[in-house]
Each structure stands twice: as structure tokens, then as C-alpha cells.
Amino acid sequence: MLMRRCIVALFVLNCFLSSGVVRAEAPEVWVNSELSDLVKLYRHFHSHPELSFDEQETAARLAAEWKSDGYEVVTGVGGHGVVGLLKNGDGPTLMLRTDLDALPVLEQTGLVYASRVKVRNDAGAEVGVMHACGHDVHIANLVGVARYMAANKKMWRGTLMVIGQPAEEKGAGARAMLNDGLFKRFPKPDFAIALHVDSTLATGKVGYRAGYALANVDSVDITVRGRGGHGAYPHMTIDPIVQAAQLVLSLQTIVSREVKPQEPAVITVGSIHGGTKHNIIGNTCHLQLTVRSYSQKVRKQLLEAIKRKAKAVAIGAAAPEPIVKITGEGTPSLYNDDKLTARIAPVFRRVLGDENVKLSEPSMGGEDFSRYGRAGVPILMYRLGAVDGRRLARYAELGQKPPSLHSPVFFPDVEEALKTGVSTMASAALEILKPKN
């Protein structure tokens, strides 16, 4: 494999030399000389995580890195968002994005550089903070790509726009940056690319998928209302817990009996709370739902059906109408542009070899990178292998699943992940921004 990569790098180098453009190193070669520094930077971000919309120090360090590489940098976009611009003549504008925020997870990896950060959350409780979703990899990766592009300006033409986005974990950061004029104060990109680590994909590999890749995500809160009283005299009450139980079952028929079987959809009741004591029937019961879909038509269908089912249960119990709230945490489904994906996939194969580029399965997870696509920019988010293949094989041998993202014991094999991430993203950038002559 190493020999193949070297041959590919030499081939690309010769192509550029023959066209009169001087290229010092291909990204997959260049990254080896920078890897030690990028890993050090990754460990810094890993051990200094910050929660959504609190990414002040993370943003400051990222801004300093980009400034040192010659980018025009603006901070404070949509919270702690960072925008860096590197203009290099006439050509398209390409946006590359990393997310900045960590999760309220107490790290249990045992790594020497593990996060020991604890903070108070919005509810006032002390929580651990951990980069359990790989955003620290994303940040170090984009620093590497930005550094490579700045050092090889003879290789491309156009404008490179790199952004550090806050609050991806809350599904709110992209919207905040857009509302703060991301595509008005700065050039609206012709294309946008991002990556996300994958805990089930081996290092050295990437995955991609054209079309729908990630889901619409909506959070729904339902307060079922009744009339409280003594548990020994239920006939004098309207029991909200019984209504809630009926509603949980009724909700399951929406996907199984109302949505076309070929359309992906999920309704999960993740939380249900009601009552205070054995012999007391309360006034209310509260349910929290996560709702997933791909198309806007199905998204609307699910949310309307949830309201209808909740009202129907209340009518059946002669109860007051329930309160149904769709929270502001929702993110739209992520649709990878077909033409952009078809253009970049061969680049990945050239850099990594066909055997290391996989067609990813669509996921019901969510990502607010989708909002840039909804704003009219062709986007591509691809998956980056994050766990050494030998580790994955050992999990399989033991009959275990590898720790998922958001797990307190998840950690990437970062050296190989960064090699692949920088190589593929920088190569994709060179493809988009390649000179016409």
C-alpha cells in the first residue's frame, strides 16, 4: 500500500510539472512531515474541550493557527465561529468546515491526555466535558489542510474559505453563523466539504454517499394532561399516565402503518415522566421524542401525525388537550450533492486506492452541515476511518461492538486518521480549485 501511494504521489507530481506548475509535495506526502505537530495540536484540543456555544478558547487557538498561515481571519461569527479566507486569484470559492464543540460526557478512556475538564451545565449540575464525537480530530485536520493549501498556492486558484463552527452538538451552530451573515459578510462558496470521523470504519479508509446521507432531526415534547386525585379512587380522576401509555403504543403505528415502507422514518420515545407517589394520580405526564426522516414531506407527515395521535388519546379519555411542542433543536437532512460527490470520489480512490474507499450506508443520525446545502451550496460530507483495523478485528473476535461516538471510552487512532483526513480533504480542495490553464 505504501508503494502504491508513493507511485500515485509521483504520478501527480509529474502531471503538475509537465503543465508548468511547480509542486513540492502531494498532500499524502506532505502530511508526514507535519504529523507530529498536528497530533500535538489534536491532543491540546482533546484535553481542553468546551461545550456548545462556550468554545471561546478553542476558537481563539484555531484563529491563531490560521492567522499564522496567512489567512484573513474573523472571529465571533454566530457565537464563537471562526472564518478564515485565503484568496489566490480568480477561481471558485471552496468552503471547508470543522465543528468546535465537545459533549457533556465524563471521559473514561484512561489516556494520558484525557480530558479532566468539568463545568456547570445550563441546569447548574457539574458535568464532565469530552470530545467524544471526534471534533478534535476535525479541528486538527482542517488546520493541516489549511496549512498545506497556504504552503502550495502555486497549485490552485480561487478562494479557500475555512470555518470553525460552534454548537454542532446542539444542531444550532450552522444556523447561528448563517443568521450572522456567513454568506453575506463573506463570499458565498461554490462548494462546501466536511468530514466526520466514523468509529466503525478502519483508519486509512473513507466512506461517502451521494444523496441523502443523514436525517432530519426533530425533538418533540408532549405534556399529557389529566385530573389528579387519589390512586384508590381512579374513577374520580383522568389518569395522564394511562393516556401516556396509550400514546406510546399509538405513536408506533405512524411509521408502521402511515409512512410508505420505502421511506426511512423513526419515532422514539426517549423519556417519560409522571407522578410523584404510589397512591397519587398526577395532573400531567411528560414525554420526550426524537423524530427522524429524510424527505421534507415525510418530516411534515410525522410531526402532524404525532399531534393528531396525542389529541386522539386525550379525546378518548375526555381529558384536556395535550400540549405538543416541537423544539428548536431540529436539523434538516443532509443531502450530498450528486455532481460534487461524483467529482470527488475518484480523487479519494486515486489517493487511497479503490479498496480503501467505501460506499457508506445512509444514517438516521443528524448533522447541521446540512444547513449550508439548504442555503444553496452544493455540499459533501464524507466519513473518515478513525479506529485501527486491528482494534476493530479484536472487537469482532471478542463478539463486541467498538465504542460508538459519544461513548466515554471512544478514542481515535489519531495519527493514521489525520494522515487520511488531510490527504483526502487537501486533494479534494486541489481538485475543486485546480487552475484552468
275-293 confidence digits (pLDDT tens): 999 999 999 999 999 999 9
Contact, 269 vs 288, CB < 8 A?
A: yes
Q: What is the pLDDT of residue 20?
A: 36
pLDDT of 11 > 80? The answer is no
Q: Judge contact between 143 and 422, C-beta under 8 A.
A: no
DSSP letters spanning 280-329:
EE-SEEEEEEEEEESSHHHHHHHHHHHHHHHHHHHHHTT-PPPEEEE-TT
The residue written with cell numbers 468546515 in the block is 97
pTM: 0.91
Tell me the per-residue pLDDT of 220-229, one tens digit each, with 9 for 90 and over.
999 999 999 9
Separation between Cα atoms, residue 356 and residue 36, nearest integer Å:
24
The predicted structure's pLDDT at residue 24? 57
- Share of the chain residues as helix, strand and coil, in percent rounded to the nearest 5: 40, 25, 35
Q: Which three cell numbers stand for residue 101?
A: 464543540
Q: What is the chain's mean pLDDT, rounded?
A: 94
The DSSP code for 166 is S
Which residues participate in catalysis according to the annotation? Answer: 101, 168
Q: What is the DSSP letter of 210?
A: S
Instruction: Give the start-end residues of each E strand in 81-171.
Output: 81-88, 93-99, 118-120, 126-128, 158-165
All domains of the chain in start order, with CATH = 27-215+333-432 (3.40.630.10), 217-326 (3.30.70.360)
Outline where DSSP puts E strands in 294-421.
323-326, 334-336, 357-359, 379-387
- ∠ Cα 220 99 218 (to 5°): 10
385 pLDDT exceeds 50?
yes
pLDDT of residue 66: 98
State residue 96 phi and psi, 5-degree precision.
-115, 135
